[in-house]
Amino acid sequence: MPTGAELSPLLEVRGLSTHFPAGRGTVRAVEHVSFRIQPGEAVGLVGESGSGKSTVLRSLLGLIRPPGRVVAGEVIFRGRDLRGLGQDELRHVRGGQISLILQDPVNAFNPSLTIGDQLRRILRLHRRQPPAGGYDAEITRMLARVGVDATGKLHQYAFNFSQGQLQRIMIAAACLGGEPALLLADEPTTSLDVTIEAQVLQLLRDLRRELGLALILVTHNLALVAELCDRVLVMYAGRLIEDADVHALFETPKHPYTRQLLRALPRFPASGGRLEAIPGSVPDLSRLSAGCAFAPRCEQYLGAICDTRVPEFLPTGTPDQRAACHLYR
Amino acid sequence: MRQVRAELAGNRLSLLGVAGVALLLLVALLGPGLAPYDPAALSPARLQPPSLQHLMGTENFGRDVLSRFLYGTRVSMFVGLGAVALGLSVGTLLGMLAGLRAGSPWDTLIMRGMDVVIAFPLLVLVPVLAGILQTRPLQLGPIGLTSITVVGLAIGLVSTPVFARVARASVLAEVREDYILAARSFGARTRDLLFGNLLPNIQAPLIVQAAFSLAIAVAAESAVSFLGLGVQPPDASWGNMLADARRFIISGAWWLVVFPAAGIALTVLSFNLLGDALRDALDPRADRR
């Protein structure tokens, strides 16, 4: 297995910051986030609600709605900074090479247009000429690939399909652009029931193997990450705090937040004791302190330094594992 | 669509509105074919009360009132439909752009511009515009503007802000939906978002508003023509027929007033009923009994 340094990464994010103006202050939803994704790699992006996971995904594709704004950083995809691209070039990357899959497939389809109509539009946006056999043949083929029998169903609306089917169709749509390389999945199975979830996960696994897709999976379900991902990025209060190989993360979590988070998972067989919780609550993103955002809740609080300096990403002694914590200075 | 039809058929008032509008459109379309006389032909039979030869009587130049009424229907419908088509298309486009770029300078520019137009009452602005535009014969390149077209343009301009507001408000609600985010994430262009994704989802309130605006447009055209600033003789319009009739009311020529006035009243009523019916039929929140 070649190490990251030898391969040129598929995606390299450097110092990404996204802010939303709010009332008097600014919500720093994403602050100085940097990471790399290798071709074909599956990376889990985990954190609590409001930690900035989804905002990272949307920032990558320039989908932040004003007045929110990506204020700094580079998003280098295949050697090009997506933030510097014109609208037309960016449009071809969206849906062509990088696709976003949303949490709730029911709302992700236009209620007034048929499924076939919506898929044809995506195809037309990304293919200069109709594919051999026509648009519908290509769509039906792709839908069959994700396990949806589309015969006679292309003229139906989203409400005619089940949630599981719609999420499969969404995944098919993500691959219709022609040369998909990276899938951004924003809690793709949260709205599905357990059996359907398992099927959709299997589908994602199969597609990754066949098409060599890289994946960024946003979730707060750590079990999902353990099952599907090679590497994990942990976010807290808009910043990345740990970047680790998936096995290392579960066996030897390095950041105090990650440790406390893993301890808070329910275990089976149940110990019978109370479930552990992290004391305190997530800080207000518009009023962050000068230091580490986790300091007030941290059980390994070191004193003044934690309150005055934002910790940098530091090696932790374990290969493939870095944490943003003053413990590792 | 089938639901809409069922809804319209299920209510007597709605049915009346639909029938009235259908009748008006039919008359407007066939008007000249139905007219028994040339509406401009003078005759010595002046100020005749309604009779079998002249079902609506004749006026002071001996012209047949029924024929003029039928031509007037066509003019009213033409001005009304044209004005609303103009207001609907321009207003919707501007409103959607403003909604999509809400909070931007574009939004401010468009909507404050609409506020300026809306600040003047319709029945003030239309005569003023028509008056200004008609001080000399208008010639735009090869297109000469008749008084009918000028009135249509003026009413169209005045009816634009309503559509802009409805479109903007609807877009503001829709643009937060996930399907818009999804469409953008799949590479949709601004024009794809506007016409492909947003328009089909905001058309219902616009259609309803169009029906109400038609009623207003017809009334406005009559009012302006009545004041002598709208459709000019020899073209007939319900408004200028009423204006001509003023001098003969005292002498008892009731037929000169009643028929054009009934035309205006029935048109406004029909389009209002249709608008109400469409609102009930198209609004998913409306109570379906």
Cα B72 to Cα B233: distance, rounded to the nearest angstrom: 11
Using one digit for the tens of pLDDT, what is the confidence trace for B119-146?
888 778 877 877 777 655 556 666 656 7
**What confidence tier does A184 reach under pLDDT thresholds 50, 70, 90?**
very high
pLDDT of B10 > 80? The answer is no
CA distance B175 to chain A (A): 10
CA distance A266 to chain B (A): 32
Mutate to test the interface with B, among A54, A112, A123, A163 (most CBs of B within 10 A): A112
- Cβ of residue B35 closer than 8 Å to a chain A Cβ: no
Which residue does chain B place closest to A121, by CA atoms?
Answer: B188
Query: Is the CB of A110 less than 8 angstroms away from the CB of B189?
Result: no
Contacts of B179 in chain A (CB under 8 A): 107-111
Using one digit for the tens of pLDDT, what is the confidence trace for A272-310?
677 778 888 888 888 888 889 998 888 888 888 888 888
**Mean pLDDT, residues B179-207:** 91
Q: Are A293 and A306 in contact (CB under 8 A)?
A: no
Query: Is the CB of A113 less than 8 angstroms away from the CB of B192?
Result: no
**Angle, helix A194-211 to helix A163-176, in steps of 10 degrees:** 10
Query: Is the CB of B192 less than 8 angstroms away from the CB of A125?
Result: yes
Which residue does chain B place closest to A186, by CA atoms?
Answer: B182
Using one digit for the tens of pLDDT, what is the confidence trace for B213-230?
999 999 988 988 888 887
**Angle, helix B65-100 to helix B147-174, in steps of 10 degrees:** 30
| Rounded (10°) CA dihedral B242, B255, B26, B37 | -100
Q: pLDDT value at position A269?
A: 64
| B103, B178, B187 ranked by CB distance to A94: nearest | B187
**Mean pLDDT, residues B165-193:** 92
Residue B218's contacts (CB-CB under 8 Å, 6 or more residues apart) are B76, B77, B79, B80, B264, B267, B268, B271
**What confidence tier does B209 reach under pLDDT thresholds 50, 70, 90?**
very high
What does the block give as tokens for B125?
């602005």
**What confidence tier does A191 reach under pLDDT thresholds 50, 70, 90?**
confident
Interface of B with A in 176-235 (CB under 8 A): 177-179, 181-189, 192, 196-197, 200-201
- Signed CA dihedral, B33, B38, B39, B45: sign only: negative
Mutate to test the interface with B, among A54, A60, A106, A110 (most CBs of B within 10 A): A110
Mutate to test the interface with A, among B101, B107, B179 (most CBs of A within 10 A): B179
CA distance B64 to chain A (A): 51
Q: Are B274 and B211 in contact (CB under 8 A)?
A: yes
Using one digit for the tens of pLDDT, what is the confidence trace for A54-103?
999 999 999 998 888 999 999 999 989 999 898 888 988 998 899 999 98
pLDDT of A1 > 50? The answer is no
Using one digit for the tens of pLDDT, what is the confidence trace for A151-164?
888 899 998 999 99
| A67, A95, A107 ranked by CB distance to B186: nearest | A95
Contacts of A94 in chain B (CB under 8 A): 184-187
Fold of B2-40+62-282: MetI-like fold (1.10.3720)
Q: pLDDT value at position B134?
A: 65
Q: pLDDT value at position A67?
A: 84
CA distance B178 to chain A (A): 5
Using one digit for the tens of pLDDT, what is the confidence trace for B250-265?
887 888 888 999 999 9
Rounded mean pLDDT of chain B? Answer: 85
Strand A98-101, strand A182-186: pairing: parallel
CA distance B188 to chain A (A): 7
> What phi and psi, each to the nearest 5 degrees, are found at residue A67?
-80, 0
| B184, B187, B196 ranked by CB distance to A126: nearest | B187
Q: pLDDT value at position A7?
A: 62
**If phi over 0 gives left and psi between -120 and 50 gives alpha, with beta otherwise, what is residue B86?**
alpha
Contacts of B106 in chain A (CB under 8 A): none
Q: pLDDT value at position B136?
A: 57
pLDDT of B9 > 80? The answer is no
Mutate to test the interface with A, among B186, B190, B202, B207 (most CBs of A within 10 A): B186
| B178, B181, B187 ranked by CB distance to A91: nearest | B187
